[in-house]
Amino acid sequence: MSSTAKITVTVDGDQYIDTVEARTLLVHYLRETIGKVGTVIGCDTSNCGSCTVLMSTADEPARSVKSCSVLAVQADGATVTTVEGLAAPDGSLHPVQRAFHEMHGLQCGYCTPGMIMSAIDLLRENPDPTDEEIRDGLSGNLCRCTGYQNIVRAVRAAAGEEVAP
């Protein structure tokens, strides 16, 4: 029994092997241990969804999770995709990133990484959502600038595109 554990995690295509404290939150591991600072902490209360990443374990498809509400040790053996793993190697944007850019789906930009990851998760399940379904699907993500109109437009614009990261 120990308060530390060795974990193996694949993040944005690279494998990491680290010994972490069991109490380390996945978001802290991503940001502070492996430097994935694109994933941000907004609220520290599990409400805002800024820290949303995609996570898959074993043979399950990748699903959105709030990385502040997952322990790094729970991600042992998992594959995680953050906003930093979306663009192609040549830098060209993922369709959802491009849609947020073109539709101006952000104001201050702080919620954007989480919004994009949640939008990808929603479009994976429902490739052609209505505005109502987009709002419901993104209800785990808050935009404190209240820029929701353009966020919904951005998701609608990306609908129908291949979104698997």
Partner 1 sequence: MIPVAFDYLRPASVDEAVAALADGGEDAKVLAGGQSLIPVLRLRLSAPSLLVDLGGVAQLRGVREEGDALSIGAMTTHDEVASSPLVRRHAPLLAAMAATIGDRQVRHRGTLGGSLSHADPAADMPAAAAALEARYVLAGPSGRRVVSAADFAVDLFTTALADDEVLVEIQVPKMDGWGSHYEKFHRMVQAWAIVGVAAMVRRTDGVIESARVTLTNMGPTALRATAVEQALAGCAADRAAIEEACSVAAEGTSPIDDLTASAEYRRHLARVLAGRAVAAAAGV
The contact set with partner 1 (CB under 8 A) reads 1-3, 5, 21-25, 28, 44-47, 49, 52, 57, 63-66, 68-71, 73-74, 76, 118, 121-122, 136-137, 139-141
> What is the bridge-based pairing of β-strands 4-11 and 79-81?
parallel
In whole angstroms, give the CA distance from residue 128 to residue 47: 26
Taking the CA atoms of 104, 110, 116 and 122 in sequence, report the sign of the dihedral they define: negative
Q: Choose between 3 and 14: whose C-beta lies nearer to partner 1.
A: 3
- How far is residue 69's CA from residue 61's CA, in Å, rounded to a whole number? 19
DSSP conformational letter for 63? E
Please tell me the total number of residues recorded for the chain in this structure: 165
**Closer residue to partner 1 (CB): 30 or 90:** 30
Choice between 45 and 90, CB closer to partner 1: 45
Distance of CA 111 to the CA centre of its chain: 10
Nearer to partner 1, 103 or 119 (CB): 119
Give the shortest CB-137-to-partner 1 separation in angstroms: 6
User: What minimum distance in Å lies between the beta carbon of 15 and partner 1?
Assistant: 20
Shortest approach of partner 1 to residue 90 CB, angstroms?
Answer: 30
76, 7 in Cβ contact below 8 A?
A: yes
Residue 32 or 102: the one with the smaller Cβ distance to partner 1 is: 32
Q: How far is the CB of 74 from partner 1 (least distance, A)?
A: 6
Taking the complex as a whole, the smallest distance from the CB of residue 45 to partner 1 amounts, in Å, to 7
The position carrying tokens 């101006």 is 104
How far from the centroid of its chain's Cα atoms is residue 162's Cα? Answer: 17
Output the CA torsion 82→140→105→86 (10° steps). 20
